[in-house]
Structure 1
Amino acid sequence: MSSTRLTLRGITARPVVLKLKRPVIAKIATITEWPMILIDLLTEEGIVGRAYLEPYVVKSMRYLVPALNDLGALLKGRIVAPVELFDAARKSLHFVGYEGLSLIAASGLDMAAWDALAKAADLPLCVLLGGSVGAVKSYNSNGLWLREPAALAAEAKELRDEGGFTALKLRMGRPRVSDDLAALDAVRKALGDEIELMVDFNQGLDLSDALRRCHAIDDSGLAWIEEPILYDNLDGYAKLAAELKTPLQIGENFYGPREMHKAIQRSACDLVMPDFMRIGGVTGWMRAAAIAGGAGVPMSTHLYPEVAAHVMRVTETAHWLEWQDWANPILKTPYQIKGGLLHIPDAPGLGLEWDEDAVRHHLV
């Protein structure tokens, strides 16, 4: 194990836009183009830490790329100690708030710093964090958006067979409850009962509609019901969690571990699934994992499957990894899915390398 001490030289952030193979069609938005910010954390010792951000909205990159470049200039010359860099980045943005774009930029820096540190130690990140290289239980979240039942049935089979998956996520929030029930029925008939299904409303309902619709699917044997109402309505979530038999899943919009702690304390959910760009990267995840572990709450991931796989190997209440291959077109060696398991490569850091030809093609 190497003891190389790294010194931050700068950050290069590059915006790219990819076309989604299966467009996101949710109640709150339709997304055909997927923005990504590729982050290279440069060190004086020549080691490069890599990570990416997926900020949903192409325009948001106009603000996040300069923020990342500013953090690189601010922290130039500092030792690459991810926890210290994360805290310094957040404190530098204290007066504009610890949430929103501030935390997203700090999270991107954090993930790249952890990658660099693991590379300097010549260890996969999961090993540096105290775990081992292995496989992580995953569900396919690449499709099953708000399409007609016949199309969903065919797509469900495709998604299952993409990696031998035993679980898929289905989106709901169509104009009528009967439309959602028809979609669920079509997928069930196509796959049989051996496949687990998660349902996601993408925050598309008000509380009244959520109560009605969630009760309508409460006896459907679902793995969970995800985000039926706006993410910050914890009172509403507490009411839903108290009434429903199906586990209630929230968390991709927790801005930092304290927000997750509030939700758990208020019994606003049964399950949590933080997003890495909002929870605080690897540092934020590990802090949140301790909270979930102490409360005995199962913890799943949202997006960023490469980072997710490593931290799930050291998360006490690890539940499901959300698999989406949206970053694959710009990765030199994408992670492999077999038998519904995401396999971590035995390589230093996160094992992320950019396909520079693809990057040049998709740069904006």
Structure 2
Amino acid sequence: MTHAGSDAVSYARHHGGKTAAESGDRIVWVKLSLAFLPLATPVSDAKVLTGRQKPLTEVAIIFAELQTRDGFTGVGFSYSKRAGGQGIYAHACELADALLGEDPNDISKIYTKLLWAGASVGRSGMAVQAISPFDIALWDMKARRAGLPLAKLFGAHRDSVQCYNTSGGFLHTPLDQVLKNVAISRDNGIGGIKIKVGQPDTAEDLRRLSAVRQALGDDFPLMVDANQQWDRETAIRMGRKMEAFNLVWIEEPLDAYDVEGHAALASALDTPIATGEMLTSFREHEQLILGHASDVVQPDAPRVGGITPFLQIMDLAARHGRKLAPHFAMEIHLHLAAAYPIEPWLEHFEWLNPLFNEQLELRDGRMWISDRPGLGFSLSEQARKWTVLTSETGQRP
């Protein structure tokens, strides 16, 4: 008796064809770059005001550029704030050789291979953040190869995603400037506003929130983000006081790994609870979702290891009826949010705009998918100028 695999080979050769393994394209060149994107103004959230972190002055970006024997290309990136950029880049350099010779269409296989290549440093955190730029670049390449925007490759539920702004409401920004930023965002077509809370003076949080709500009106979508700086008692007290502000959600009220506390808070409050941006693996998000710890899940593709694990998180979250609001990196998350079955939110940060030659379109409160294939971006000259380290492996065809 012949095996199915040998039957397929015999059939292909008898008819003058090749098997997929014989005819498949191969990755022949990998380039990694580490760039530091400077921020015009040092940024502070509650973690700074509570003394746990320093103001954010730059974002480390780790780019991966891939090319195949047949000339197809893909670009992906990961990032880190305040610390870890050098480490992510170094580990990515260790993994790069493992991509050479692989069929770029076998993304899950490659992901597993890279995960095992770095298994001694774990399956979360920096270990998977170093895989992210490769995984995202492979998905970008796959969609480019198909001539489709990435959202269409997944099977989009919509051509645009409702979009809210975060960058105008940080705690280092005086309230009068926050109010000006809110007005500018609305004029530019934003669909929602998020402001930071969680500072030691809770009365000041409420004062700023009240002023923003008054400026926006009662029904314009408004969110708050405490960046993990409340304990359980403060979170429930503040959550009850904030019920009157008709918020879309309260974000990261507690430590990111306090599943039990978030579940109790979500049960006690009418205002939805959102969290998950700091988690760095599918398994961590699984605990959050199965533990009923949030109403809105907020995965971050570069942080969880790329698009491959993000799709697993999406599937689990959808099966349990959770809303989706991916963290940061709107250039990637627009495509993923567009493919989510339940109406999601997209976070608007203009910080990464200088890195790319192309820009996203915001209008009518939503971010729109372009007709460009893949992610729809190419690296700018400015991104090259901010690059401090590069590494190449393989040969460009």
TM-score by length of 1: 0.93
Question: Aligned AA for 1:153?
Answer: L
Question: Aligned AA for 1:206?
Answer: D
- State the 1:284 CA deviation: 1.2
Give CA-to-partner distance per residue, 1:327-353, whole Å, 9 cap, x none. 111210111211221121111111110
Aligned match of 2:93: 69
- RMSD over equivalenced CA pairs, Å: 1.9
CA distance in 1, matches of 2:374, 2:28: 19
Asked if residue 202 in structure 1 is aligned to residue 227 in structure 2, the reply is: yes
Asked if residue 355 in structure 1 is aligned to residue 374 in structure 2, the reply is: no
Give CA-to-partner distance per residue, 1:177-222, whole Å, 9 cap, x none. 2100110111122222242111000111222222222222122100
Match of 1:60 among 79, 84, 95: 84
* SS of corresponding position for 2:60: strand
**Is the CA contact (8 Å cut-off) linking 2:210 and 2:245 kept in structure 1?**
no
**Is the CA contact (8 Å cut-off) linking 1:11 and 1:69 kept in structure 2?**
no
The worse-fitting range, judged by mean Cα deviation, of 333-342 and 196-205 is 333-342
- State the 1:8 CA deviation: 1.5
Question: Aligned AA for 1:245?
Answer: D
Aligned match of 1:153: 179
Structure 2 runs not aligned, ≥5 long: 1-19, 49-54, 389-397
CA distance in 1, matches of 2:239, 2:229: 12
Asked if residue 167 in structure 1 is aligned to residue 192 in structure 2, the reply is: yes
Asked if residue 84 in structure 1 is aligned to residue 109 in structure 2, the reply is: yes
* SS of corresponding position for 1:32: strand
Give CA-to-partner distance per residue, 1:299-349, whole Å, 9 cap, x none. 111112122111222212241011112111121011121122112111111
> What pairs with 1:222-301 in structure 2 (closer than 5 Å)?
222-301=247-326
**Is the CA contact (8 Å cut-off) linking 1:53 and 1:108 kept in structure 2?**
yes
Question: Aligned AA for 1:167?
Answer: G
Asked if residue 24 in structure 1 is aligned to residue 48 in structure 2, the reply is: no
* SS of corresponding position for 1:217: helix
CA distance in 1, matches of 2:212, 2:57: 23
Alignment size in residue pairs: 359
Question: Aligned AA for 1:11?
Answer: V
* SS of corresponding position for 2:34: strand
CA distance in 1, matches of 2:269, 2:298: 19
Query: Sequence identity, in percent?
Result: 30
CA distance in 2, matches of 1:75, 1:354: 21
Aligned match of 1:34: 59
- State the 1:113 CA deviation: 0.6
Question: Aligned AA for 1:13?
Answer: L
Question: Aligned AA for 2:174?
Answer: E
**Is the CA contact (8 Å cut-off) linking 1:150 and 1:186 kept in structure 2?**
no
Larger radius of gyration: 2
* SS of corresponding position for 1:28: helix
Question: Aligned AA for 1:157?
Answer: A
- State the 1:95 CA deviation: 2.2
Give CA-to-partner distance per residue, 1:75-123, whole Å, 9 cap, x none. 2111112211111111222222101101111122111110111112222
Asked if residue 305 in structure 1 is aligned to residue 325 in structure 2, the reply is: no
* SS of corresponding position for 1:49: strand
- State the 1:298 CA deviation: 0.9
**Is the CA contact (8 Å cut-off) linking 1:234 and 1:268 kept in structure 2?**
yes
Asked if residue 8 in structure 1 is aligned to residue 27 in structure 2, the reply is: yes
CA distance in 2, matches of 1:194, 1:11: 49
**Is the CA contact (8 Å cut-off) linking 1:141 and 1:322 kept in structure 2?**
yes
CA distance in 2, matches of 1:86, 1:328: 28
Structure 1 runs not aligned, ≥5 long: none
Aligned match of 1:324: 349
- State the 1:248 CA deviation: 0.4
> What pairs with 1:107-146 in structure 2 (closer than 5 Å)?
107-131=132-156, 134-146=159-171
- State the 1:133 CA deviation: 7.5
Question: Aligned AA for 2:208?
Answer: A
CA distance in 1, matches of 2:385, 2:280: 33
CA distance in 1, matches of 2:158, 2:70: 26
Give CA-to-partner distance per residue, 1:60-79, whole Å, 9 cap, x none. 22111122222221221111
- State the 1:21 CA deviation: 4.2
